[in-house]
Amino acid sequence: MDQANLLQLFIEQLPDHAIFLLDIDGKILSWNEGARNLLGYQPSEVIGREYASLFSPDAAGVGRPAALLLSAREGRQQDEGQHRHRNGSLLETNCVLLPLKDAEGTLYGFGCAMQERSADGMGTGQNSVVPLRRETILVVDDDEQVRAVSVGQLERLGYNVLQAANGPEALQVLDANSSVDMLFTDVVMPGGMNGGALAREARRLRPELKVLFTSGYFAEALLRDGRLEPGFALLVKPYGRHELSRKVREVLRAPA
């Protein structure tokens, strides 16, 4: 495989940076995995749409074409703003637009790189690297090897990760760490507290906590056995890195 194809694979599979192309009129031409994770849209839902449609209703059509003009004129346009997730929520983002020109200076389109802006606003300077907000995930699984794999995958995806081997230990971690955004727990665990019971107690303590279950059983079996209640988010084992990345972003971005 040549260098150009390797670079294309890298961009397409980059999970934590939204990178996509626009034509000269601002229509979306491509959509990588990071864009899917950040904004929730599949490529088929956005390719061909206007770039302005990704902004909040108040921002759409108000100054956004000017951003393309400024990018073409200045060679770069970076700003902070809001983009709309597929579920309707608004994300605070940093966005960089670069004009794509040939050696003669003919404009063929734009490249867009986008990240969610951190809560403290760090990394938004013109020459700085803009970090993602690093959400914290608590991984709970009694199988040490499985837990280690999950922790490693989530850390490589850019998350802060805590871990626990069972329900009571997980509750202690939650009590000591108010920064936990999501509980990622196995359903079937020994010790008298399965994942469903853990989630109920965790939500009693932290009502805003997001919860993602994982299990080798399908949802229908878990509902039938009464281990989980309707409406839960489930990632069925075995799962790959792309499935994990997509499901975690989906749960974190869902309305509370």
Kindly state whether residue 123 falls inside one of the protein's structural domains. Answer: no
Kindly state whether residue 99 falls inside one of the protein's structural domains. Answer: yes
Residue of 55, 46, 40, 8 whose CA lies nearest to 27 = 46
CATH number where 153 lies: 3.40.50.2300
Name the token pair of 50: 């206007």
**Pair 87, 182 in one domain:** no
Q: What is the tens place of the pLDDT at every residue in 77-88?
A: 887 777 778 877
Name the token pair of 232: 């839960």
| pLDDT in the model for residue 108 | 93
Kindly state whether residue 126 falls inside one of the protein's structural domains. Answer: no
pLDDT at 132 over 70: no
**Pair 155, 90 in one domain:** no
User: What number of other Cβ atoms are within 10 A of residue 154's Cβ?
Assistant: 23
Distance from C-alpha of 15 to C-alpha of 80, rounded to nearest angstrom: 21
**Separation of CA 246 from chain center:** 7
Residue of 184, 188, 195 whose CA lies nearest to 157 = 184
Residue 166 pLDDT grade (very low, low, confident, very high; cuts 50, 70, 90)? very high
pLDDT at 180 over 90: yes
**Pair 24, 112 in one domain:** yes
Kindly state whether residue 121 falls inside one of the protein's structural domains. Answer: no
**Pair 105, 140 in one domain:** no
- Choose one of 116, 145, 179: the last residue of a domain: 116
Q: Which residues contact 100 (CB under 8 A, 6 or more apart)?
A: 21, 107, 108, 109, 110, 111
**Pair 162, 246 in one domain:** yes
Distance from C-alpha of 140 to C-alpha of 166, rounded to nearest angstrom: 6
| pLDDT in the model for residue 231 | 64
Our count of domains for the chain comes to 2
- Choose one of 62, 88, 116: the last residue of a domain: 116
Residue 226 pLDDT grade (very low, low, confident, very high; cuts 50, 70, 90)? very low
**Pair 106, 148 in one domain:** no
Distance from C-alpha of 139 to C-alpha of 154, rounded to nearest angstrom: 9
**Pair 112, 27 in one domain:** yes
**Pair 110, 21 in one domain:** yes
| pLDDT in the model for residue 37 | 87
Mean pLDDT of 38-58: 83
pLDDT at 218 over 90: no
**Pair 151, 84 in one domain:** no
**Pair 189, 91 in one domain:** no
Domain encompassing residue 162: 136-253
> Which of the residue ranges 85-94, 181-190, 218-227 has the most confident prediction, judged by mean pLDDT?
181-190
Residue 229 pLDDT grade (very low, low, confident, very high; cuts 50, 70, 90)? low
Strand order in the sheet with 180-186: 160-164, 136-140, 180-186, 210-215, 234-236
Please list, residue by residue across 225-240, b when 16 or more beta carbons sit within 10 angstroms of its beta carbon and e when fewer do. eebbeeebbbbeeeee
| pLDDT in the model for residue 19 | 94
Mean pLDDT of 218-243: 67
DSSP class per residue in 82-122: EEE-TTS-EEEEEEEEEEEE-TT--EEEEEEEEEEPPTT-T
**Pair 94, 176 in one domain:** no
Strand order in the sheet with 90-101: 18-22, 107-116, 90-101, 77-84
CATH number where 18 lies: 3.30.450.20
Mean of the per-residue pLDDT values of the chain: 81
Least confident of 90-94, 202-206, 248-252: 90-94
CA angle 87, 48, 63 (to 5 degrees): 75
Mean pLDDT of 51-71: 65
Least confident of 97-111, 154-168, 241-255: 241-255
Kindly state whether residue 129 falls inside one of the protein's structural domains. Answer: no
Kindly state whether residue 238 falls inside one of the protein's structural domains. Answer: yes
Least confident of 40-54, 77-91, 110-124: 110-124
User: Can you tell me whether residue 234 is helix, strand or coil?
Assistant: strand
Kindly state whether residue 9 falls inside one of the protein's structural domains. Answer: yes
| Position with higher pLDDT, 153 vs 183 | 183
Distance from C-alpha of 92 to C-alpha of 56, rounded to nearest angstrom: 10
Backbone φ and ψ of 241, nearest 5°: -60, -40
**Pair 146, 241 in one domain:** yes
